[in-house]
Chains A and B, each alone.
Chain A
Amino acid sequence: MNESVEHLDMTDPALLDAHRAGDPDAFGVLFKRHRDRLWAVALRTTGNPEDAGDALQEAMISAFKRADSYRGDALVTTWLHRIVVNASLDRLRRNKVRAAQPLPDDLEEYTGRGAVLATDTSGDPEAVALLGDRRRAVLAALDQLPPEQKAALVLVDMEGYPVAQVAQMLDCPTGTIKSRCARGRARLATLLTPVLGTGSPPSPSNPRPSTQPTLGTPEGGAPR
């Protein structure tokens, strides 16, 4: 791939236009610019690196060939995410016959350890290990959700995208995204009760609409 300085300075829409005009390097620069985050979405949506890699590859091929389908009414990243999420969901649905991944056997142990959230684990090997265990538990619970709820939570709560942008990615109204997120969180709260250490899970009828302020901006800033 011949990435020139000129390419690196180009905006996403300019790169996509260049690709459509026949520039052989433009799409590569564009995709490389976002592929880490696209990978993250694919990995969390599919739940395993093999499917995530395949989904990302399918999405890249689709985006390369269907660049003309981008109308400019959304961000290029939104368009790319939409393709990746769709590819991931397709793969997820195809794999639905697969046995559901069980929750960790030692989930009950988290109850005794208390709800340790967002803890600074630097210099504390035990805390690091605990955080790792908790992540695995969260991911296992996430895999129990229906694909649409899972995708909404991955994009909103994990990746920190605004609900409106996720609505564009998933091609549905913002209200639907909010609803999916609320139902998904309620379900996760039930599944992760031992981890949360709380007595009662939140009610789906009264979810918090958005958690954006606590997750950072979607424009590259790492979620908090």
Chain B
Amino acid sequence: MTDEADVDANDDIARLLADARVTDPLPGDVADRLDATLADLVVSRETRVTASRTPSNVIPLRRRVLPRVLVAAAAIVVVTGAAIAAPHIHERNTGQNSGAASADSAGSGSQSGAVPRSLPATKGLKAQSQHAAEGTMPMAIAGSLVQLTSDHFRADVRKLVRTLDASARTAYGAVGVPTASAAPTVPTVPTVPSPTDDGLAGSGGSLTDTVKAPDCPTPTGLDPGAEVIAVTVDGAPAVLVVHPMKDGSRLAQAFSCDAGAADATPLASATVPR
């Protein structure tokens, strides 16, 4: 009887619960709230879907701008370094710098930089602006190439060679990464290795190992110790070959990149005394 009583009681409870069931529909205010929430969800999802359909090759603005900023900053550093060095070239060339001789003595074998450590950067900049105002800038430096002109080829080359002598021999590739103090005032492509060349004796490279000037064939048959420099002559890409010292002077020859051969006739040549 106890079991039957339990069953009856369970049935009664179940009936009570069933009678207490909610039969009214969802209240209007709750329904309105749910509809509004659902509308927001739909809009939010639509927005997300639209965003996710953005082409994957579209780079966010920050990622597009940042590299350009970095490149621009690096360019400013290079140009500034070159600008600081350029007046120094002129000063030395005109005999205003008493230290020129000693710098020259360091010459081809030196790894010292173009800008003497005693020369404050502000002085270099001041000298640069002075030369620019006077129209006596020895050579234009744009980007990484030295710009030469056929009209002033001899003078430009002489300044360049003297700069080379005073500058670090920063050869691409074979020599390795330029030293921090040796600002790339003059992009030298590679020196033909020579046991007698103190500066590059340890490079261990050969002409074929050196890096050629961009898009320019490197002349062949050069004497050991010759230097090849990427330049422009009257705006056209060229390579300048500065031969080793011979009888107190160095022969410099410019070859057009268009010539494309070692046997090409030089665009211009000049003998630069020590």
A83 to B24, CA, bound (A): 21
The answer to whether B12 and A138 have CB atoms under 8 Å apart is: no
Which residues of chain A from 198 to 218 have any CB-CB distance to chain B below 8 Å in the complex? Answer: 198, 200-203, 206-208, 211, 214-215
The answer to whether B15 and A118 have CB atoms under 8 Å apart is: yes
A188 to B23, CA, bound (A): 22
The residues of A that contact B15 with a CB separation of less than 8 Å are 117-118, 214
Which residues of chain B from 25 to 56 have any CB-CB distance to chain A below 8 Å in the complex? Answer: 25-27, 29-31, 33-35, 37-39, 41-42, 45-46, 49
Which residues of chain B from 10 to 28 have any CB-CB distance to chain A below 8 Å in the complex? Answer: 10-23, 25-27
Q: Does A44 contact B (CB under 8 A)?
A: yes
The answer to whether A188 and B13 have CB atoms under 8 Å apart is: yes
Known contacts: A39-B26, A159-B21, A195-B16. The answer to whether A61 contacts B11 by CB under 8 A is: no
Q: Does A222 contact B (CB under 8 A)?
A: yes
Known contacts: A57-B34, A135-B20. The answer to whether A115 contacts B12 by CB under 8 A is: yes
The answer to whether B19 and A214 have CB atoms under 8 Å apart is: no
Q: Does B6 contact A (CB under 8 A)?
A: yes
The residues of B that contact A43 with a CB separation of less than 8 Å are 22
Q: Which of A115, A139, A211 contacts B10 (CB 8 A)?
A: A211
Q: Does B122 contact A (CB under 8 A)?
A: no
- Output the least CB separation between A182 and chain B (Å): 8
Which residues of chain A from 44 to 87 have any CB-CB distance to chain B below 8 Å in the complex? Answer: 44, 49, 52-53, 56-57, 60-61, 64-65
The answer to whether A139 and B20 have CB atoms under 8 Å apart is: yes
Measured as residues with beta carbon below 8 angstroms from the partner, the interface class of chain B is 35 or more
Q: Which of B14, B31, B33, B41 contacts A214 (CB 8 A)?
A: B14
The answer to whether A35 and B34 have CB atoms under 8 Å apart is: yes
Interface segment, one of A22-30, A89-97, A164-172? A22-30
The residues of B that contact A185 with a CB separation of less than 8 Å are 9-10, 13-14
The residues of B that contact A118 with a CB separation of less than 8 Å are 15, 19
The answer to whether A56 and B18 have CB atoms under 8 Å apart is: no
- Output the least CB separation between A176 and chain B (Å): 18
A223 to B2, CA, bound (A): 28
Q: Does B151 contact A (CB under 8 A)?
A: no
Q: Does A189 contact B (CB under 8 A)?
A: yes
Q: Does A224 contact B (CB under 8 A)?
A: yes
The answer to whether A207 and B6 have CB atoms under 8 Å apart is: yes
A138 to B31, CA, bound (A): 27
A27 to B44, CA, bound (A): 14
The residues of B that contact A56 with a CB separation of less than 8 Å are 26, 30, 34
The answer to whether A207 and B10 have CB atoms under 8 Å apart is: yes
Q: Does A103 contact B (CB under 8 A)?
A: no
- Output the least CB separation between A10 and chain B (Å): 17
Q: Does A151 contact B (CB under 8 A)?
A: no
The answer to whether A214 and B6 have CB atoms under 8 Å apart is: no
Q: Does B7 contact A (CB under 8 A)?
A: yes
The answer to whether B14 and A215 have CB atoms under 8 Å apart is: yes
Q: Mark A119-163, 1 if CB is under 8 A from B, else 0.
A: 000000000000100110011001000000000011001111000
Q: Which of B6, B16, B30, B31 contacts A134 (CB 8 A)?
A: B16
The answer to whether A36 and B17 have CB atoms under 8 Å apart is: no
Known contacts: A202-B6, A203-B6, A214-B18. The answer to whether A53 contacts B30 by CB under 8 A is: yes
Q: Which of B6, B12, B41, B49 contacts A196 (CB 8 A)?
A: B12
In this complex, what residue of A is CB-closest to B18? A223
Known contacts: A158-B20, A200-B5, A224-B18. The answer to whether A208 contacts B41 by CB under 8 A is: no
Known contacts: A39-B22, A118-B19, A135-B20. The answer to whether A211 contacts B41 by CB under 8 A is: no
The residues of A that contact B21 with a CB separation of less than 8 Å are 40, 44, 158-159, 223
Which residues of chain A from 102 to 122 have any CB-CB distance to chain B below 8 Å in the complex? Answer: 115, 117-118
In this complex, what residue of A is CB-closest to B2? A203
The residues of B that contact A115 with a CB separation of less than 8 Å are 12
The answer to whether B30 and A189 have CB atoms under 8 Å apart is: no
- Output the least CB separation between A87 and chain B (Å): 13
Q: Does B3 contact A (CB under 8 A)?
A: yes
The answer to whether B9 and A201 have CB atoms under 8 Å apart is: yes
- Output the least CB separation between B58 and chain A (Å): 22
- Output the least CB separation between B167 and chain A (Å): 65
Q: Does A16 contact B (CB under 8 A)?
A: no
Known pairs A188-B13, A206-B2 / 13 extra A-B pairs, C-beta < 8 Å: A53-B30, A56-B26, A57-B34, A65-B41, A118-B19, A153-B17, A157-B13, A157-B18, A189-B9, A198-B8, A200-B5, A206-B6, A211-B10
Mark B residues whose CB is within 8 Å of A: 2-3, 5-23, 25-27, 29-31, 33-35, 37-39, 41-42, 45-46, 49
